[in-house]
Every structure is written in structure tokens, then in C-alpha cells.
Amino acid sequence: MAKLIVDGNEIEVPAEFTILQACEEAGAEVPRFCFHERLSIAGNCRMCLVEVKGSPKPVASCAMSVRDLRPGPNGEPPVVNTRTPLVKKAREGVMEFLLINHPLDCPICDQGGECDLQDQAMAYGVDSSRFAENKRAVEDKYIGPLVRTSMNRCIHCTRCVRFTTEVAGVPDLGAIGRGEDMEITTYLEHAMRSELQGNVIDLCPVGALTSKPYSFKARPWELAKTESIDVMDALGSAIRVDSRGREVMRFLPRVNEFINEEWISDKTRFVWDGLRTQRLDRPYVRENGRLRPASWNEAFATIASKVGATKSERIGAIVGDLAAVEETFALKLLMESLGVASIDCRQDGTRLDPTLGRATYVFNSTIAGIEDADAVLLVGTNPRKEAPVLNARIRKGWRQMRTPIGVIGENVDLTYDYAYLGAGPQTLADLAAGKGAFFEVLSKAERPLIIVGQGALTREDGLAVLATAAKLAKAVGAVGEGWNGFSVLHTAAARVGALDLGFTPKADGLDVAGMLAPGALDVLFLLGADEIDVPEGVFVVYQGTHGDRGAHRADVILPGAAYTEKSGIYVNTEGRPQLANRAVFPPGEAREDWAILRALSDVLGKRLPFDSLAALREQLFAAYPHLAAIGEIAPADPAALEALAGKGGALSEAPFASPIVDFYLTNPVARASAVMAECSALASGALKQAAE
Amino acid sequence: MIATNWQDRGPLTPFAPPRRRFSFGAAARRSWTSGEEAVIFARDFAASHQRPQPMQRESALKNFLLQFFTWWSGQTLGTRFYTWRNGEFVGEDEFGNKYYRTRGGRKDPALGIERRWVIYNGEAEASMTPPGWNGWLHHTVDVPPTQEDYKPREWQKPHRPNYTGTPKAYRPAGSTLASGRRPQATGDYQAWSPGS
């Protein structure tokens, strides 16, 4: 710890703090453009100048650490001033230089209203220009379908360059030229190849990099902001939903140090146009092979007559990937009251089983714990595709501590170096038996982390693979006091919540594969389940938001609410329940999903015992108390892993393959989005790029 | 009421309501946004424009009191006296407003030209003067419309006063005040249909 005096207040900060951080600690606000807490220090904007006693010139506070400050002649603590006339004059000078080449196009700039330069010019700008020459003109660059460039506005803070190289791990952005002639570019005018590229829009302190799909759509001050949770992957990233009227205009990240820091993936950020296309806005009933619009009563009556004529063992229910806990709970109660045993939430066929214990299906180490791990093994997962923000965490640990990383599965570019161990379960079995150099790495590590992906579990031998991984975890000491390094990475936002509720087949019930076998069922209830193919001859009730695979197959469609249109609890892959809030209302006659199930239960004569969301939650929390602690992880009992490790089973030879074929098109919302379709076409090489 | 606004407006009363003719009286106490009452008020409003001559005998006392206490009921006592002393009747429009000028076209010392004014039939509302008379009042023309034989074209609509603030006010399509019902919002999402 080091002592220093900031604006007359003596404070004590860690010696590795920069002066800027120390000033923040002391409550003094320091303007900055290039400095960012999560990026390396560049020190090139010079906006953070402060006066240090004894220094002949103002000092860039972001680039000088407290430890480098010299004490006074009699050992007094160093003195830093942030409000002297010298500091103000210095910053005004910097601002004037920055504005020399910055265009005066705030009225037509998308950053207007949320622009750092605009805000700081209010404090340090001068009211007139002394610059009579022409401003610099820079050609706009094409860097992909998501980020619009307006390079005249660039002030060369290089935050975008540092983000792409350090956090995203792709060397796509760089700077050419020097001084005034410096330009940010991808060199060859190709699209950025990162799943996190949208974050440069937030990082850019001016309007040089703005959102292309959102461009000229809205102004920040006319948007209603709702803090919510993302469901595009199983991380549950913290997002802010910006809406105007009934439309979601954009998604922005919120800071959540435990999950997404302040990054979100491109799918999370740009999927909003999918929320307004292909929407189911009224009930439909199939008549003579064709779906026709119907009223809610007609739809319910059709379901009731069909369900009434069907035996309960011929009825099934499948929960999809985007369902909140509330409607899963309502559907479970409804199916229980109907005596239905064939219920399942694992539409991808993963072999996870909640009866084995909660520790066997959650990300026990927690996402923040990835940084603490000193060795990482990825089994059958491609985190870059399955959870890009989590991949950035792994990369962060790798960059800062050179964490050794091993991969069993696909040999793909994960943005960091890793030891490729093998493709299939045999490698894992060898490792668990203590063979191979990476076993030494794992067993020497104090906190080894084993991440098992869905690619290893959505197979016939999934449970055996899980057991082998648990065996390995036990062998290398990954499960112990204060550290549980056995982690399952999910791909569906609804999965852990539904597993927590036990939405899996009861005794003599069928799982997803059994339900989808031809002739197995007569009535199938799909709660937003679109990733499956239902055979002919089944009466399908589809409750969902988008006209996707499930709606096309359905016999009755019940329009529900998307994740921005309802208040719902989602449990992320760590087992952390989080509350998503409603930003807009469902379109047309669509209703919140729990309310649909409540109304349907009345028609079926099995009235569910709640009339409001609050009453539903009361019962939900009474039955599953850990869900009531929003934002808190209920620790899972690692003893379940002991039992799991004892399980055996035959392992097949087939290599692990990630369940995510196309990162941009994993759910009905993303498949309805034109932006996601363009990204997908670009990623698969089907779309010609601008430079060609 | 004298058309030039710097002229004496008669005695000021401390109870003068806001200067909109519909903001007082029994009708104003009803909400004019609700459907049935709006009709009732519209009728009252129309009737106020076809009010019998203010000088009729049975309401002479009422007229005197109105002219004594208010400035918005046709004319004040001061204007009435000024008109009796100096006014020369020029003509009357289709609404019953009467137009005067200084007798014999005598120059008003304050203006340098003859003074012209109107005494409204009913409430004093400047937009009640039709365009022909408006032109004469403002010295745009010297020949009053009654001495001209101007035939309106068939596409010319009859003059209407400013209806702002009344039930007849213009309401844009989509305003809940126009029909009492908000039209179905469309265009903020694209619905799925089974055919596509």
C-alpha cells in the first residue's frame, strides 16, 4: 500500500494502482479516452493529465503508477492535484487538439447523446476554433456487417485495437500511419472474425465505430432502458434492453463481474431484429391440414378435446431452450396433474440427469473462477462458439497467467494456444487412467478446471463420458475444499433451470428420443422446442414466439412472450438464478407463457393453483428455495461427483463434435434475425465481402 | 369591441376567465372529451353563434350587465358609447358582426387614417370576421364587401372561425380524441403467417 494526497485528501491505495485509479479512489473524476480498466494502458489520448507536485509538466495519470511517485523532501506522501488551473488548461489544450480533426457532425452522429468526447467537451472544450485549415479526411473502412465506421471521427485512442487483440484474441484491427495520418483498419477490408466484435462499439469513446444494424434508428435519450438477462447462450450475460414504444431497439451489456464483465457476444447484441420478425401474434388451429387463425378459446377447446380423448401415457411435453423457470414450473405442474410421465427438457439429447445431483450438471467452478484455475481441460466443447464471453475469460487467464490449456475434441482456433490431446472419449479415458503429459499438468495444478461441453454429452455414451470426466476430476484433485473444478458448460439458457426443477422423465416416462420415436405419443406439448423433428401422427401443441420449425409442425399454436417481453427467472450454467425483466409487451394477442398455461389448465379442468406471477413464484420458491436467491449460486454438493465417478459405461470411438453448427443461428429468435443470417452467411463463406 | 388591440378594452374585472369562449358556462363544466357530452356541448356552442341580437328587449338588463362587467360579450359600455358618438355603420356580415368606421371617414388623430372596427355578434373572437371584412378592417381594401358584388367560386368554402380548443378542433388520424378509440398499432413487428 502506498500513501498519496489527492486534492488535499490523503488516501492509501495498492502501490500497483495507477494515479488515475488512485484519483478515482479518492473521489476525483479524471477524464479519459484511451484508458479502459479491462484493456492494457496506451496513454496516447493525454486527456487524463494531472499535476504532480515536483513534476515540471502535467503527468498522464493513466500511465504512471503510484509506486513511481517520489515522496517529498521530508518523506511526505506525494501530492497529486486534479483541479488546479494548470490541469484545466492542459486538458483544454488536449481537447482543442483532439477537436482539430474531429468533424462537427454530432447532429447526424449515432453516438450523439452518449459520446465521451461530447460530454468532456462540455467541461474542457473551448467555444471557438483557432484552426483555419482543412480538417483531415479519412476513408471509412468496411469491417463487417455489424460495425459501421466513420473514420473522420476517430481520435486514435486504440481501444478497439487493444480489445480485438487482447480480449477477443483476433489480430483483425490495427493502425497504420503515424501522427495525424494514423488510421484504424483491418488492412484488407475484410470483416472482423470475432464473436465479440460488437463490444468495440461500446468501447469507442466517439462515433467512429457505431452499430450498423442500429444506425440512425433511435437516439439514446428516447429509449426506455430495462436491465435484463440474455438467453442466447447459457451464461445469462447481464444486458440492458433499450426499447422505444413496443420495439426493442438494441441490447447493451451491463457490468457483471461474475459472468460477463462488460462484454457480450454478437448474437446477444444484434439479435434484436429477430424479435420483431416472424412473430406468432395470434393462436392458430390446424384444420384440414392448414393452420388458420383462431381465438384463444377455440385453441384451448381444441387442445382440451384432444387431451381429454388421450391416455396420459400417450402425452408428452418438451421444454425448449429459451423457456424461463416460471413457465417450466407451470408446465410441470400441469403435466403432473394430468398424470403425464413423459416430460423432458433436454431436446438436444444430453445425458445429464438431475437425479445424480446438482453438482453433475452445473459449472461448479463458476465463471469468475476460470481466472483462478491454473490448468484447464476442455472436453468436447468449443467455448468460442458455445459461450464466447466465457471463452474470453479462459483467454484472459491464459494471457495473464499462461494457464496451460488442454483440449479433447475438435481442433479449432479458440483464440489461445492449447495442447491438443485427442478427438474422442478414448483420450479422456487414458487421461483419467493417469496416462499422458497433461495428466501431470492437471495433477500438479492447485485448482485444475475440467470443462465438459455438450459435444461430449449429447451422445449415446454421454453419461459414461461424464463419469469418466468426474473420475479424472477426482484423480487430479479438482474436487476439494474450496474448489470444485468439475464444470459442465451448457448451451441453452433454459436447461439448468429446467434440470433444477426436475423436468425429466418420471419413472416409465419417455425421454426426448423416446417421445420422438414414430408412434410413441399421440399428443406432444412443445414449450418453445424447435430443435427437434416431430414424427407424423402426433398432435403437436406448440407454445412459442416465432414461426420456426415447431410452429410449422404444430396443430395448435399458442403465441407466447419472448425473453424481453416477460419477467422470468433464468438459471445460468453456473446454477445462478437471475431475473430477466420485461422491456416491452408481447405482440398482438400473445401472452406471457405462465398465464397461457394457467388459462389452459382451467380449460383442461386441472386449474393450476396460482392466479398471478407473484403467487406462482411463491410456490416455486417454496418448492425450490435456491431459486429465490436471485444472483446467488447455491453451492452444489460435490459428493454427487464421487457417486458419478463410480459409474461406468462403454465409451464409443466417435470423436466429440460441438453441438453448435452455426453460432449465429442457434435458436428461433436468431433464425428470424436478418443480421444473424448475414453474419452466418459471412462466416460460412457464402457472402462476398466488400473488398472483393 | 374595437379591432385594434391597443384600444380601451373596457373595465377589467378580477374574475375575468381565460379568453376562450367555451371555458365558462355550464357546458365547460362538462368534459368535452367524452362522447355524449361532447355532442351536447357542440350544440351549445353552435347555438352561441346564432344567438339573438344582444340588444333584444327581454335581455336588455342582462346585456347591460354583461357589457358592464365583461369585455368579451360583443362590446363594452365604453365601445358602445364610442360607437354611438363617432361610429358610422358600414355593413354586417353573414354571422351578424357589425362593422363601423369613424363617421364620414374622419381621420383618427392617433392613426392618421380612418378607424375601422367590428362589434361581434356574441363572443369577441377575432377569427369570426370573414376574409372580405378582415381585409377591409385591416385597410387592405377600402371598399367593404357589402358594396362589392364578389361572387365566391364554387370551390370556396364558407368561413369558419378558429375551432382550436373546442370539440370541433382538428384531430389527427390516430388521436384518441378523434374517435375515442386508438387504432391498431401496426408496423412494429412482422407477424408470422402459416403460408410463408
| Residue A566 pLDDT | 95
| Residue A291 pLDDT | 94
| Residues in chain B closer than 8 A to A587 (CB atoms) | 188-189, 191
With a cut of 50, say whether residue B186 has pLDDT above it: yes
Q: Identify the CA nearest to B117 among candidates B102, B132, B135, B95.
A: B102
Mean pLDDT throughout B97-102? 95
With a cut of 80, say whether residue B99 has pLDDT above it: yes
Inspect the interface and report whether the beta carbons of A284 and B191 lie closer than 8 Å.
no
Indicate the range of A439-448, B23-32, B94-103 predicted with least confidence.
B23-32
Q: Identify the CA nearest to A80 among candidates A150, A21, A154.
A: A21
Rounded-to-integer distance, Cα A450 and Cα A440, Å? 14
B194 class by beta-carbon count within 10 Å (0-12 exposed, 13-18 middle, 19+ buried)? middle
Cα A323 to Cα A320, A385, A475, A551, A569: the distances in Å are 6, 21, 37, 16, 9
Inspect the interface and report whether the beta carbons of B190 and A276 lie closer than 8 Å.
yes
Its pTM stands at 0.79
Task: Identify the residue among B182, B189, B193, B196 best suited for mutation to test binding to A, counting A beta carbons within 10 A and taking the highest.
Answer: B189
B195 class by beta-carbon count within 10 Å (0-12 exposed, 13-18 middle, 19+ buried)? exposed
Residue A59 amino acid letter: V
Residues 494-553 of A with CB under 8 A from B: 546-547, 551-552
Rounded-to-integer distance, Cα A257 and Cα A238, Å? 10
Q: Inform me whether the C-beta atom of residue A244 falls under 8 Å from chain B C-beta atoms.
A: no
Residue A246 Cα, gap to closest chain B Cα (Å): 7
Within a 10 A sphere around the Cβ of A27, how many other Cβ atoms? Answer: 10
**Would you say the ipTM is above 0.85?**
no
- pLDDT tens per residue across span A259-274: 999 999 999 999 999 9
Residue A390 amino acid letter: L
Inspect the interface and report whether the beta carbons of A279 and B192 lie closer than 8 Å.
yes
Under 8 Å between Cβ of B190 and A277: yes
Rounded-to-integer distance, Cα A558 and Cα A363, Å? 34
Residue A280 Cα, gap to closest chain B Cα (Å): 6
| Residue B34 pLDDT | 34
Collapsed DSSP state (helix, strand, coil) of residue A226: strand
Under 8 Å between Cβ of A243 and A224: yes
A580 sits in which H/E element? strand A577-580
Inspect the interface and report whether the beta carbons of B191 and A247 lie closer than 8 Å.
no
| Residue B37 pLDDT | 35
DSSP A662: -
Across the A:B interface, residue pairs with CB atoms under 8 Å apart total 40
The domains of chain A, with CATH numbers, are 2-99 (3.10.20.740), 102-220 (3.30.70.20), 284-354+494-628 (3.40.50.740), 364-489 (3.40.228.10), 663-691 (no CATH)
Q: What count of residues does chain A have?
A: 692
Mean pLDDT throughout B130-143? 94
| Residue B59 pLDDT | 79
Under 8 Å between Cβ of A201 and A262: no
Q: Identify the CA nearest to A302 among candidates A283, A280, A282, A318.
A: A283
**Neighbouring residues of A533: CB distance < 8 A, sequence distance ≥ 6:** A516, A549, A553
| Residues in chain A closer than 8 A to B185 (CB atoms) | 246
Nearest to B188 among A276, A280, A292 (CB): A276
Share of chain B above pLDDT 90, in %: 39
Which residue is it, cell 416431430?
Answer: A534
Q: Identify the CA nearest to A266 among candidates A348, A188, A217, A202.
A: A202
B186: closest chain A residue by CA: A588
| Residues in chain B closer than 8 A to A291 (CB atoms) | 194
Q: Identify the CA nearest to A378 among candidates A349, A346, A410.
A: A410
Which has the higher per-residue pLDDT, A273 or B18?
A273
Which residue is it, cell 417454496?
Answer: A622
Inspect the interface and report whether the beta carbons of A281 and B185 lie closer than 8 Å.
no
Inspect the interface and report whether the beta carbons of B194 and A284 lie closer than 8 Å.
yes
Q: Inform me whether the C-beta atom of residue B150 falls under 8 Å from chain A C-beta atoms.
A: no
Q: Inform me whether the C-beta atom of residue B186 falls under 8 Å from chain A C-beta atoms.
A: no
Which residue is it, cell 370556396?
Answer: B156
Q: Inform me whether the C-beta atom of residue A588 falls under 8 Å from chain B C-beta atoms.
A: yes
Nearest to B190 among A278, A284, A290 (CB): A278
Rounded-to-integer distance, Cα A393 and Cα A265, Å? 13
Q: HEC states along chain B?
A: CCCCCCCCCCCCCCCCCCCCCCCCHHHHHCCCCCHHHHHHHHHHHHHHHCCCCCCCHHHHHHHHHHHHHCCCECCCHHHHHHHHHHEEEEEECCCCCEEEEEHHHCECCCCCCECEEEECCCECCHHHCCHHHHHHHCCCCCCCHHHCCCCCCCCCCCCCCCCCCCCCCCCCCCCHHHHCCCCCCCCCCCECCCCC
Q: Where are the beta strands (DSSP E) in A307-384?
A: 315-319, 342-344, 375-379
Pairing outcome for strands A59-60 and A49-52? antiparallel
Beta-bridge partners for A541? A525, A556
With a cut of 70, say whether residue B26 has pLDDT above it: no
Cα A523 to Cα A305, A314, A519, B75: the distances in Å are 11, 7, 11, 83
Q: Inform me whether the C-beta atom of residue B193 falls under 8 Å from chain A C-beta atoms.
A: yes
Rounded-to-integer distance, Cα A235 and Cα A246, Å? 27
DSSP A76: P
Tell me what the pLDDT averaged over chain B comes to: 74
Collapsed DSSP state (helix, strand, coil) of residue A474: helix
| Residue B60 pLDDT | 86
| Residue A665 pLDDT | 94
Using left for φ > 0, alpha for ψ between -120 and 50, and beta otherwise, residue A2 falls in beta
Inspect the interface and report whether the beta carbons of B185 and A246 lie closer than 8 Å.
yes
Sorting pLDDT into bands at 50, 70 and 90, what band is B7?
very low
Sorting pLDDT into bands at 50, 70 and 90, what band is B135?
very high
**Neighbouring residues of A539: CB distance < 8 A, sequence distance ≥ 6:** A306, A310, A522, A523, A524, A555, A556
A289: closest chain B residue by CA: B194
**Helix, strand, coil abundance in chain A, percent, nearest 5:** 35, 20, 50
Rounded-to-integer distance, Cα A63 and Cα A43, Å? 6
Inspect the interface and report whether the beta carbons of B191 and A552 lie closer than 8 Å.
no
Q: Identify the CA nearest to A690 among candidates A108, A148, A183.
A: A148
Using left for φ > 0, alpha for ψ between -120 and 50, and beta otherwise, residue A377 falls in beta
Which residue is it, cell 474531429?
Answer: A102
A118 sits in which H/E element? helix A116-124
Inspect the interface and report whether the beta carbons of A247 and B190 lie closer than 8 Å.
no
Inspect the interface and report whether the beta carbons of B194 and A547 lie closer than 8 Å.
yes
Under 8 Å between Cβ of A566 and A585: no
| Residue B1 pLDDT | 40
Task: Identify the residue among A243, A244, A278 best suited for mutation to test binding to B, counting B beta carbons within 10 A and taking the highest.
Answer: A278
Q: Identify the CA nearest to A158 among candidates A97, A209, A93.
A: A209
Rounded-to-integer distance, Cα A282 and Cα A292, Å? 10
End-to-end Cα separation, chain A, in angstroms:
56
Q: Inform me whether the C-beta atom of residue A218 falls under 8 Å from chain B C-beta atoms.
A: no
Inspect the interface and report whether the beta carbons of A276 and B193 lie closer than 8 Å.
no
Angle separating helix axes B77-86 and B60-69, nearest 10 degrees? 100
| Residues in chain B closer than 8 A to A552 (CB atoms) | 194
Inspect the interface and report whether the beta carbons of B192 and A546 lie closer than 8 Å.
yes
| Residue A137 pLDDT | 93
| Residues in chain B closer than 8 A to A583 (CB atoms) | none
DSSP A342: E
Nearest to A551 among B189, B190, B192 (CB): B192
Collapsed DSSP state (helix, strand, coil) of residue A261: strand
Inspect the interface and report whether the beta carbons of B193 and A551 lie closer than 8 Å.
no
Alpha helices per DSSP H over A557-650: 593-603, 613-623, 639-646
Pairing outcome for strands A284-287 and A247-253? unpaired
| Residues in chain B closer than 8 A to A282 (CB atoms) | 191
For residue B5, the number of C-alpha atoms closer than 13 Å in the C-beta half-sphere is 4
The C-alpha cell at B123 is 363572443
Under 8 Å between Cβ of B102 and B87: yes
Beta-bridge partners for A330? none
Within a 10 A sphere around the Cβ of A355, how many other Cβ atoms? Answer: 9
Collapsed DSSP state (helix, strand, coil) of residue A80: strand
| Residue B185 pLDDT | 59
Inspect the interface and report whether the beta carbons of A277 and B190 lie closer than 8 Å.
yes
Residue B189 Cα, gap to closest chain A Cα (Å): 4
Nearest to A587 among B189, B193, B194 (CB): B189
| Residues in chain A closer than 8 A to B196 (CB atoms) | 547
Residue B184 Cα, gap to closest chain A Cα (Å): 9
Q: Inform me whether the C-beta atom of residue A674 falls under 8 Å from chain B C-beta atoms.
A: no
As a whole number of Å, the CA-based R_g of chain A is 28
| Residue B47 pLDDT | 42
Residues of chain A with pLDDT under 70: 686-692
Residue B174 Cα, gap to closest chain A Cα (Å): 15
Rounded-to-integer distance, Cα A665 and Cα A686, Å? 15
A244: closest chain B residue by CA: B188
Rounded-to-integer distance, Cα A79 and Cα A12, Å? 12
Inspect the interface and report whether the beta carbons of A279 and B194 lie closer than 8 Å.
no
- pLDDT tens per residue across span A606-651: 999 999 999 999 999 999 999 999 999 998 899 999 999 988 789 9
| Residues in chain B closer than 8 A to A299 (CB atoms) | none
| Residue A687 pLDDT | 63
Alpha helices per DSSP H over A417-511: 425-432, 437-444, 462-475, 495-500
Collapsed DSSP state (helix, strand, coil) of residue A678: helix
| Residues in chain B closer than 8 A to A275 (CB atoms) | 189
Inspect the interface and report whether the beta carbons of B190 and A551 lie closer than 8 Å.
no
Under 8 Å between Cβ of A210 and A144: no
Task: Identify the residue among A217, A246, A249 best suited for mutation to test binding to B, counting B beta carbons within 10 A and taking the highest.
Answer: A246
A297 sits in which H/E element? helix A296-308
Beta-bridge partners for A389? none
Inspect the interface and report whether the beta carbons of B189 and A280 lie closer than 8 Å.
no
